[in-house]
Structure 1
Amino acid sequence: MDDWLSADNIVAVLTAIVGLVVSVGVVWYERRVLRRKRIGYRVQMDTPIGSDDPDGETGTTNVRLGLFNDLPDMVDATLVLLRIENDGGESIADSDYTNRDPHRALNVVFAGRLVRGVAVTQADTGSLMDHFAPVGGEGGVRHEGNVIHLPRVPLNRGQHYKLLVLLTGGHVGGGVRITGGIRDGVVVPNKAMPVDAAPPLFSRATRWITILLTVCVTVLATIIVVREDAPPPLDCATGRLTVTGSTAFAPVMKEIARHYAADCSGSEIKVEADSSDRGVRDLAKAGEAGHGSAVVAMSDGPRPESGPSKLRENRIAVSAFALVVNEAIPVRDLTVDQIRDIFRGSVVNWKDVGGPDRPISLVSRNSESGTRDIFRRRVLGGASEPGFTSRDCVTKNFGADPVIRCELDSTEDVLSEVGQVPGAIGYAELGAAKASPHVHILAINGRAPSTGADGDTRYPFNEIEYAYTYGTPDADSLTASFLHYLRLGPGQAIVASHGHLPCDTPAGFLRCAR
């Protein structure tokens, strides 16, 4: 809950709420204001046309136009241009006016002034003018006192007409209002504009709505761009997990563990690789002790069939392994038969397989190594390697031993030792072998090691990498989440980057199904 209540999240939620309110307001404004029937009116001109203003009521320079200087009752005359328009969302019919008098619709009232004459001008269409003429002595535009009576004029959306009104008895700027009503609508004053001014492109409401929505979008976009933390995968889980087993696959698992922990906060994944067989045994012991759900064992190849029955396998990738020799040995290719002769101890000098006159030193893995077991099954035809005869991989423990052979605990140790001993040969995972200095990789029967989709499937030293769990992990557990990340999520790309072929790819599926 505390993680959710971050500043970014609060700002994002508030911005989204503002955007939602604005959107709802737009809909409301459109349905309840813009789409209702509405007649608006505004004074576009109110100017004096009489003689001098003796009282100075206009507040100007006290000079009028003087059009009626010869008419004593017109010395205070004013001229008003009034625009009446349908600025709503619907057309207005003559039946929409609510005045009980069938010949009247609206009343224009001038406070403090007397209407002396009125003319209708600038109607949108010629047919609109017909509604202002009296019929049979009834209707039309009439005035009495300070009031003009307007007939029932139908107005389509956007239509308007103007009244040019001559008044006396008052001063410029006197109040002007229109009374009357329309069914399901309103009659309201609009903001006055000069007669020659163009109407604004957008209304005030439209401008404010545009500004608010722009601010909302900008804030949300800024949060998305600026925030550094990417959203975690959907199946993230928290807790602790130990990954044990294969040292050959350990570099892959260490990198995937780092990426998972970075993507999924609250998770702790420890990689403690020793060997495939030992990792499987440790998993079984952990399961029997009741905490096997927090352990994953990686194995180069399948576990022995006689192992614990509660272990569940997950096929992860096809891994390629390689024979490596010290860089001082120019041999680049060996047949399977030559390799078997070397590792049974019947060939002990490189000159017997096309190399220099130098003793062969066998650098092997210990008996718990999955890589060693793959080498025995895939290359040696099931035969075992000769016994352990050297502690330092250089000298024999006993002079009578036929060959120098040492055993080391990890892939890294094997590659390091082969790189230091001039006549050494060993085996390791392909990616690690390629990255190791002072060694080169041997082809087998003329075929180079590869796990790519277009690689030579006849290369013998390949095997499937397995991830074992004790029973089926709970769906919401860290173990299940990590395996999904490894097989189907971002971990799949990491596996491929290390030179392995993920099982859950089209090419890998066929290879892993064998």
Structure 2
Amino acid sequence: MTKKILLATIFSLSILISGCAKWVDQGESITAVGSSALQPLVESVAEEFQSNNPGKFINVQGGGSGTGLSQVQAGAVEIGNSDLFAEEKSGIDATKLEDHRVAVVGITPIVNPKVGIKNISLANLKKVFTGEITNWKELGGTDTPIVLLNRASGSGTRATFEKWVMDGQEAKQAQEQDSSGMVRQIVKDTAGAISYVAFSYVTSDVQTLSIDGVKPTDENVMDNKWIIWSYEHMYTKKSPDSLTQSFIEYILSDEIQENLVTKLGYIPVSKMTVQRDWEGNLIN
């Protein structure tokens, strides 16, 4: 390579790098962090958004709802994804954040398919997680010890499950995982295992459990027959930058809500026949 060509190449690269820096400086790159239950939807929407908007970059990460809320409050990221209302999380000032509810997700207990049961009472599900019931044969299943698996303490999925199942009682200490995908994998591979995931993470190699005869379906979430559900929130500062606002508007657009949201196992907020406030009270 001649000296002239080398200098020209260096000059071109410097322009390219400078241009990329300029995109970031102008707010052309944003980051969304938090809920792993919401992560698959945000990642898929981000891919479509970037395809339709060249030069716009949406970085999506997990880490749990607590991480999402604390990071957006601190200004470290533009969007905090959460299964929880900001009011539910200690140390978060909800008055400084804007709540964008982009979907609803049901959360279901899942078990290894060989445990031998498909239905459980809410009371017995609670006893399983407190450790009062320790073998599946006590519930009419196989003679297999129960293996508990929890999400990590900052998880919105865990907080929602405990709110509606544990009713303030302490769950037995058990193995914890940060990722819903890893939870599903461990339940699939571990005899006697039980945990819980968002509907969007359910696959045919794990068994969902009905509760008191009610199946974990979107239809049962919509009218609150299935009570273990949460809104999927994307929190921003009160005055988000233009790219953040555009991305939020895109995920709330009819096209995304009517197609991608449903396809990925979530429920559009518009399809809910009930609403809940941050304390869990029905408001209509």
Corresponding residue for residue 194 of structure 2: 425
- Do structure 1's residue 471 and structure 2's residue 230 form an aligned pair? no
Instruction: Report the aligned-residue RMSD.
Output: 2.0
Q: TM-score, normalised by structure 1?
A: 0.46
Deviations 1:227-283 (A, max 9, x none): xxxxxxxxxx97111111011111111100000001111200011111011111111
Report the Cα distance in structure 2 between the residues aligned to 1:327 and 1:244, rounded to whole angstroms.
32
Q: Is the 8 A contact 1:333 1:444 kept in 2?
A: yes
Q: Is the 8 A contact 2:150 2:176 kept in 1?
A: yes
Q: TM-score, normalised by structure 2?
A: 0.82
**Number of residue pairs the alignment of both structures matches:** 249
Corresponding residue for residue 54 of structure 2: 265
Deviations 1:266-314 (A, max 9, x none): 20001111101111111122x2xxx65xx11111121226412312211
How much identity, in percent, do the aligned residues show?
A: 29
Corresponding residue for residue 267 of structure 2: 501
- Do structure 1's residue 384 and structure 2's residue 150 form an aligned pair? no
How far residue 499 of structure 1 moved from its aligned partner, in angstroms, is 2.1
Q: Is the 8 A contact 2:49 2:250 kept in 1?
A: yes
How far residue 361 of structure 1 moved from its aligned partner, in angstroms, is 0.3
Report the Cα distance in structure 2 between the residues aligned to 1:508 and 1:455, rounded to whole angstroms.
5
Specify which of 253, 257, 261 is matched with residue 42 of structure 2: 253
- Contiguous gaps of at least 5 residues in structure 2: 1-25, 278-282
Q: Is the 8 A contact 1:452 1:501 kept in 2?
A: no
Question: Per the alignment, in what secondary structure is the counterpart of residue 383 of structure 1?
Answer: coil
Corresponding residue for residue 449 of structure 1: 216
Report the Cα distance in structure 2 between the residues aligned to 1:275 and 1:431, rounded to whole angstroms.
16
Question: Per the alignment, in what secondary structure is the counterpart of residue 142 of structure 2?
Answer: coil
Specify which of 76, 80, 83 is matched with residue 300 of structure 1: 83
Question: Closer, same or farther in 2 for the Cα pair 1:439/1:412, shift >3 Å?
Answer: same
Q: Is the 8 A contact 1:453 1:508 kept in 2?
A: no
Q: Is the 8 A contact 1:317 1:512 kept in 2?
A: no
Looking at CA atoms only, which structure, 1 or 2, has the larger radius of gyration?
1
Corresponding residue for residue 256 of structure 2: 491
- 1:111-122 to 2 correspondence within 5 Å? none
Specify which of 405, 409, 416 is matched with residue 178 of structure 2: 409
Deviations 1:158-216 (A, max 9, x none): xxxxxxxxxxxxxxxxxxxxxxxxxxxxxxxxxxxxxxxxxxxxxxxxxxxxxxxxxxx
Question: Per the alignment, in what secondary structure is the counterpart of residue 501 of structure 1?
Answer: coil
Report the Cα distance in structure 2 between the residues aligned to 1:240 and 1:488, rounded to whole angstroms.
21
The letter for the 2-side match of 1:431 is: S
Report the Cα distance in structure 1 between the residues aligned to 2:29 and 2:81, rounded to whole angstroms.
17
Q: Is the 8 A contact 2:79 2:236 kept in 1?
A: yes
- Do structure 1's residue 278 and structure 2's residue 67 form an aligned pair? yes
Q: Is the 8 A contact 2:104 2:229 kept in 1?
A: yes
Question: Closer, same or farther in 2 for the Cα pair 1:454/1:276, shift >3 Å?
Answer: closer
Question: Closer, same or farther in 2 for the Cα pair 1:409/1:454, shift >3 Å?
Answer: closer
